[in-house]
Amino acid sequence: MTAEKAEGAKGFAGFDPKSVEPYIVKDPENLAINMARAAEQLGKAASAWLAPRESGEKTDSFAEPVSDMVKTLSKVSEYWLTDPRRTLEAQTHLLGSFFDMWSRTVHRMAGDAVDEPASLQRNDKRFSDEDWVRNPFFDFIRQAYFVTSDWAERMVNDAEGLDDHTRHKAAFYVRQIASALSPTNFITTNPQLYRETVATSGANLVKGMQMLAEDIAAGRGELRLRQTDTSKFAIGENIAVTPGKVIAQNDICQVLQYEASTETVLKRPLLICPPWINKFYVLDLNPEKSFIKWAVDQGHTVFVISWVNPDERHATKDWEAYARDGIGFALDIIEQATEEREVNSIGYCVGGTLLAATLALHAAERDDRIRSATLFTTQVDFTHAGDLKVFVDDDQIRHLEANMSATGYLEGSKMASAFNMLRASELIWPYFVNNYLKGQDPLPFDLLYWNSDSTRMPAANHSFYLRNCYLENRLAKGEMVLAGRRISLGDVKIPVYNLATKEDHIAPAKSVFLGSSSFGGKVTFVLSGSGHIAGVVNPPARGKYQYWTGGPPKGDVETWMSKAKETAGSWWPHWQSWVERLDKRRVPARKAGGPLNSIEEAPGSYVRMRA
């Protein structure tokens, strides 16, 4: 054997007898006992799933999304199967790829050094275990997975005659199927899982199935996938702890004011309007990460809207109610607490969309209390709204509205699942493997605790949002009707600080950038590194990521980026300078609530309501 062949053979675990020892069952009796115990726990999980369905407490609507997926993918199949030449082309491409893969495997098993094609060299942390390459069996499975999933994506991309929405949905569904069928998700095709199952004689599966039963029971018949150790966090104790008061409340929100930490504060108070899809304390996770605390320390008098976790009583609370009884109510309270009319504002995600629509309504009504608006990862033009548009077409919205009409709201778990599906390979399947197949408890992580703290959404509000924004894009077109008025963002003349994040999968930078052109005043567009959360919650002390600033947001975001200035670290100080350029007047620090009596300590009771 040549030195080159010897080196190639050395790289394969299959040629080293010792390398297969971790895969050999040494205690079959104990393994059989544990498999029986795991089956018993799986039975408990099945019972926890069935119980609310047998009692009529819960009904499933699996047929609707599955039907939509089948209908969408059948349109792709129709293109390739209706023409024999195209069918042969698709088959030839896949079979040719498998033949090449088989040929490489045979040569490597013979001891030859074979270079892997660049297309199969992936920086995919799911396949980080060295046996995915070293062991011939697992190496073949890995290559087969990449070849097949690449082929399926190509079938979608190359299919002609599909409208954009159908192609988008088909690509999304193919990615979901590929993520679910990854060999990393199964014991016999994942070398690490296989070794752990053998080493523990299946004890990992006993623990995993026990956790599965617990998670289904915790979700009252739905799988509440645990992504972190929730027992390590308590709202108001070690998360959301910035000192403040709840100074007012109504049916849909509480208004919080935070205690000043500086001797003087900016004359204009700051109102933060968070999304109601999630809870506001993503901006107050802990003192080191808290944007709220940092803003207080810069001299802002910070007010935050804390939305109620709605139930059937809130079914008719629509977009106007959230604008009037949320933002409008908060503005009234701020004026009573501080005797200031002029306010700076921040809106995050859909909270920013609501803020933008409210500003347009205020412009029509000549309400000039909000003097500047900062938008965090906010879409106002939904032309390029990303993968969430997969869930939005007339048929799907009608089905959703029918389901919501029965309860008056959308279950928080439904929206949480949709968000997790956008990054299934990172937010679903790694936890499925770690929890239920490895039997390991997840580590405590405050951001994932927040992510699991889902909220419900009122039927009227959610329906209005989906139809007016995602489906018909009425806000950007100047066709949205709010409080009986047709509103236009072009009427919003106040300064706008529009923040996008480079890797955002919920509000893509391309979409946020396009929305900048909808406003009638000057827009300062800033692009931050990282994604929807980490790109926003990026305190200066950590020195992470970077941000880009440049000229007016015109043209497309790629052209803007090519000319923009990159600055290392957090964008927070840049925003603070922007705010102070608008109005840097200061007054003595204010007491939380002013003349108003406080109701309770921040973060309040509304944020503690779990779905």
Distance CA 497, CA 199 (A): 56
* Closest listed residue to residue 206, CA positions, set 45, 38, 44: 38
Amino acid, res. 391: F
Distance CA 574, CA 528 (A): 11
In angstroms, the Cα distances linking 183 to 78, 138, 177, 190 are: 28, 9, 12, 6
Angle at 167 between CA 164 and CA 173, to 5 degrees: 140
Give the β-pairing of 409-410 and 457-458: antiparallel
Give the β-pairing of 302-307 and 409-410: unpaired
| Placement of tokens 């197949």 in the chain | 437
Contacts of 557 (CB under 8 A, 6+ apart): 500, 509, 510, 513, 514, 527
Is 349 tagged catalytic? yes
Check if the beta carbon of residue 379 is closer than 8 Å to that of residue 357: no
Q: Report which DSSP code applies to 455.
A: -
Check if the beta carbon of residue 143 is closer than 8 Å to that of residue 118: no
Contacts of 523 (CB under 8 A, 6+ apart): 495, 496, 497, 498, 516, 517, 552, 553
Amino acid, res. 424: A
- Which one of the listed residues 253, 273, 349, 469 is annotated catalytic? 349
Q: Please give the structure tokens belonging to residue 136.
A: 């011939």
Q: Report which DSSP code applies to 566.
A: E
* Closest listed residue to residue 564, CA positions, set 546, 582, 579: 546
Check if the beta carbon of residue 231 is closer than 8 Å to that of residue 455: no
**DSSP bridge pairs for 566:** 548
Distance CA 233, CA 241 (A): 12
Half-sphere exposure for 509 (CA within 13 Å, toward CB): 23
Q: Please give the structure tokens belonging to residue 15.
A: 């040629």
Centroid of chain to Cα 201: 37
Distance CA 226, CA 443 (A): 10
Q: Please give the structure tokens belonging to residue 93.
A: 């491409």
Count CB-CB contacts under 10 A for residue 364.
Answer: 15
Question: Cα Rg for the chain, rounded, in angstroms?
Answer: 27
In angstroms, the Cα distances linking 126 to 131, 179, 196, 504 are: 12, 10, 16, 21
- Taking every pair of C-alpha atoms in the chain, what is the biggest distance, in angstroms? 89
Contacts of 456 (CB under 8 A, 6+ apart): 309, 310, 311, 409, 410, 411, 412, 611
Check if the beta carbon of residue 549 is closer than 8 Å to that of residue 567: yes
244, 246, 247, 249: CA torsion to nearest 10: 160
* Closest listed residue to residue 567, CA positions, set 534, 543, 537, 536: 543
* Closest listed residue to residue 357, CA positions, set 514, 473, 505: 473
Q: Which residues are catalytic?
A: 349
